[in-house]
Amino acid sequence: MTDTTTHDARPATRPVVRIGELEVCGLPAGHEAYPVYVLRIRPLAGGWAVVRAGDRCLGRDGTWAYGSNQGDRDDAWLAEHRFSLKEALEQAEESAQRLTVRGRTAAQLLAEEDDQADLGGEATAAAAELAQAWTFARSTTPDEGHYPSASCT
């Protein structure tokens, strides 16, 4: 398909291919926390920017600055916050592993969820054992040797 956008009143003669945005995240797509852990690599003025939720832009020093696409950024700021595509991918992959949200990295969040799933299985097993013990206790008749007397002396 050929781009029919006109520039200078002439239609383009070659197809136009643009990369809009890439995503890097330490969580699987579809995870409920994915939107806050995802890093986006976007083509912006001066190169490729690595941005995260809240319009924060990654700098070469690993810190996050607000306002990834403000027009008043000078050349020095752009040099610190723009990368080649290869650099942006490398920086995003490293940052995705270090990124903390509410004090947890994506790996820590996944580990906590695994631990909770294990606890859920243990709790289910314990509840089943308790139900079995309760059923057994209700099905037997109390003997003097098995249950203490209910009377107080």
Tell me if 113 sits within 8 A of 106, measured CB to CB: no
What CA–CA distances, in Å, run from 91 to 36, 43, 66, 143?
17, 15, 17, 73
Q: pLDDT tens for the chain, 153 residues: list them.
A: 444 555 566 776 889 888 789 999 999 999 999 999 999 999 988 899 999 998 899 999 999 999 766 777 888 999 999 999 999 999 999 999 999 999 999 999 999 888 776 555 555 666 667 677 667 666 765 554 555 444 454
Tally of CB atoms within 10 A around 58: 26
Tell me if 78 sits within 8 A of 45, measured CB to CB: yes
pLDDT computed for residue 21 by the predictor: 92
β pairing state of 64-66 and 22-24: unpaired
pLDDT computed for residue 32 by the predictor: 94
